[in-house]
Structure 1
Amino acid sequence: MAQAKKQNIIPKEQAVFWMDKDGVWHNEHGKLEHPKIIKYFNQSMGKDDQGYFLSQIINDVEEKVYFSYEETAVFVVGFVKKDAWIELTLNTLDTIALDPEALYIKADALFMETDDHLVKFTQKALAQMSVFLTDTPQGLIFKFGRIQTVIREK
């Protein structure tokens, strides 16, 4: 029988880092800027019933550090246009398909609801997506091929 892995759980109140509303990591000294550390943090993210956490294995012990974040910890950082759909690249380096029906605008930011996460578009990703967005009297419309969807506001 396999032995359960030992865990060291650190609650978000004790974490020494957090993520802001734009997906930027911070610690007590300010914004984290080292690209390798940021990439490592983003790739180490997980989610469970208690929230988002970073995990790593240290000497056969899984360490889970829950962290604070605003709105969401998952962000669209880029996309790839496919023949019939758009693939979104997330800060976690995962990819998901864009679902135009799941898009909405809140406080001048673009979000997409998925079964697993609330996903927010970074300013860079939003600028890249602008070729598919048209402002109309009915509101902002997403257009891609034959797909045309009014993006609702919350």
Structure 2
Amino acid sequence: MAQSKKQNIIPKEQAVFWMDRDGTWHNEHGKLAHPKIIKYFNQSIHKDDQGYFLCQTMNDVEEKVYFPYQDTAVFVVDLVKKDTGIELTLNTLDIIALDPGALYIEEDALFMETEAHLVKFTQKALARMSSFLTETSQGLALNIGRTQTVIREK
């Protein structure tokens, strides 16, 4: 008979860390700076009906720590042009395809709506994306191959 794991759930009000609107992790001492800790946190991000949380399993206990964040907890950190389009690397290390029709601009930030997450582009990703962007009479547009898509503003 399989035993179910015990769960330890920590609500976001009790979390000792949070993520700012740029995807930077913080605790009471300031910004987290250790790359391995940041990578571990990002890879541990999950989402359910309660919001975003970090999840880890130790022995037979699954710990879920919900954490405060602004806008979203999922960010585009890099992108690669492929023959089929542009692949986006997320802070969670997932790779997804760029969907030009799902892009929008809000308060000088670029977002993409997916079924699973609202994804925000980091400054580094925006810099990498700049070669695909053009200012048009209708606004900022994304150019991939022979296709130009105007990015809507919210």
Report the TM-score range of the alignment, normalised by the length of the smaller protein. over 0.9
Q: Does the residue aligned with 1:68 lie in a helix, a strand or coil?
A: coil
- Within a 5 Å distance, the mapping from 1:7-86 to structure 2 comes to 7-86=7-86
Q: Percent identity of the aligned residues?
A: 80
1:44-63 CA-to-partner distances (Å, cap 9, x unmatched) read: 11100100000111221000
Query: For residue 87 of structure 1, what is the amino acid of its counterpart?
Result: E
Residue aligned with 1:110, SS: strand
Letter in 2 for 1:28: E
Distance (Å, rounded) in 2 between the aligned partners of 1:112 and 1:147: 18
Tell me, in whole angstroms, the C-alpha distance in 2 between the residues paired with 1:16 and 1:84.
42
TM-score by length of 2: 0.98
Q: Considering only aligned residues, what root-mean-square deviation do their CA atoms show, in Å?
A: 0.7
Distance 1:27 1:108 in 2: 26
Task: Note the residue ranges of structure 2 that are not aligned, 5 or more in a row.
Answer: none
Unaligned stretches of 5+ residues in structure 1: none
SS for the counterpart of 1:56 is strand
Does residue 143 (structure 1) correspond to residue 125 (structure 2)? The answer is no
* C-alpha distance in structure 1 between counterparts of 2:78 and 2:59, whole Å: 35
CA drift at 1:146: 1.8
TM-score (norm 1): 0.98
* Shift of residue 137, structure 1, vs aligned partner: 1.6
Show the counterpart of 2:153.
153
